[in-house]
Amino acid sequence: MIQRLAVIGVGLIGGSLALALRRAGAVAEVVGCDRAPEALERAAARGVIDRGVREPAAAVAGADVAVIGVPVRAVGQVLAELKGAVAAGTAVTDVASVKGAVLAEAEAVYGEVPGWLVPGHPIAGTEYSGVEAAFPELYERRRVILTPVTATEAAALARVRAMWEAVGSTVVTMPAEHHDEVLAATSHLPHALAYALVDSLSGWDERQEIFEFAAGGFRDFTRIASSDPQMWRDICAANRANVVDALRRYQADVERLTERLAEGDDEAVLALFRHAQQERARFLRLLEGRS
């Protein structure tokens, strides 16, 4: 049971966590912190937070757990504002999509990664943003990756782990570098490809018509291109080397497929499509196995 939870950045991710912890009876009080007063008002009106404050240092005072729910580009600033404000016994975690960047920001501010900081990333989200989009089921049967370092306090890690488990998630730990490689492949790469496809097609001559004759397959394939552009630009920038590497590996594979198709090696094309279909079926079984 968390007596006081601080949510710094009350949007889809932090807001959904607060709602889920409340529903689970796993938190007594939620203090929200946001630059935007109207975000705090909306969060209070929706019952996401009990009260709001403007400064991260004020939010973290007396909290068992503080969740930095801001996008990756803003984590460093919040860490700087928390300097000297985190009491012994308070665990701080974040939800940013790139963990190496968070560790680097922490080192820049504190000279080393503080023991109370448990870098984390819930593998959950939608293409929507803001506290209006928050809902308590967001983390059910999802994975949360924590990337502790040697200095991370065992008690802080345990508290953050228990928090995510209380909302129905499975917690996995791994090194930050490994997290950033895996997420570059499964999340950052598809987002970049979806944005690139919509942008690419909109520039073709048939522009108006191309979208006119697109259907459900295209809608699903490009759903993630409706995500917040600045947030995803920041994620790609924060995980630049891995995303560039993933883009290049994918391009090499698409180039090979294009060559096979161009030269009429239809058996090779079929083998690739078939293998992909089988692998996706395996992926769906993995997803189902969690429920």
The window from 37-45, 99-107, 149-157, 174-182 that contacts its own copies (CB under 8 A) reads 174-182
Total residues interacting with its own copies, rule: CB under 8 A: 92
By CB under 8 A, is residue 288 in contact with its own copies? no
Stretch 193-212 residues interacting with its own copies (CB under 8 A)? 193-204, 206, 209-212
User: Sign of dihedral through CA atoms 107, 110, 111, 114?
Assistant: negative
Q: Which stretch binds its own copies (CB under 8 A): 23-31, 62-70, 76-84, 119-127?
A: 119-127
CA distance 146 to 148: 6
- Contacts to its own copies from residues 129-168, by CB under 8 A: 142-143, 145
Q: Single out the residue of 70, 92, 123, 157 in contact with its own copies (rule: CB under 8 A).
A: 123
The correct pick among 111, 213, 288, 291 for binding its own copies (CB under 8 A) is 213
CA–CA dist 282, 278 (Å, integer): 6
**Residue numbers 245-274 binding its own copies by CB under 8 A:** 247-251, 253-255, 257-258, 261-262, 264, 266, 269-270, 272-274
Measured from the CB of residue 249, what is the shortest distance to its own copies in angstroms?
A: 7
Q: Which stretch binds its own copies (CB under 8 A): 8-16, 20-28, 37-45, 237-245?
A: 237-245
Q: Is 98 left (phi over 0), alpha (psi -120 to 50) or beta?
A: beta
What would the x/- binding string for its own copies be over residues 40 to 79, using CB under 8 A? ----------------------------------------
Cβ–Cβ contacts within 10 Å for residue 19, how many? 24
- Distance between CA atoms of residues 131 and 40, nearest Å: 9
Cβ–Cβ < 8 Å for 90, 65: yes
* Among positions 120, 125, 136, 148, the unique one binding its own copies when judged by CB under 8 A: 125
- 108 or 276: CB nearest its own copies: 276
217 in contact with its own copies (CB under 8 A): yes
Considering only 77, 129, 173, 222, the residue that binds its own copies (CB under 8 A) is 222
From the CB of 46, what's the least distance to its own copies, in Å?
Answer: 23
Candidates 29, 35, 61, 126: give the one binding its own copies (CB under 8 A): 126
Of these, 77, 279, 288, 291, which contacts its own copies (CB under 8 A)?
279
Q: Which residues pair with 31 in a beta bridge?
A: 6, 51
Which residue of 115, 135, 218, 288 would you call a contact of its own copies, by CB under 8 A?
218
Buried b (16+ CB within 10 A) or exposed e, 172-204: eeeebeebbbebbeebbbebbbbbeebeeeeee
CB 48 within 8 A of CB 66: no
* Nearest residue (CB) to its own copies, 154 versus 215: 215
Q: Which two tokens stand for residue 229?
A: 């552009």
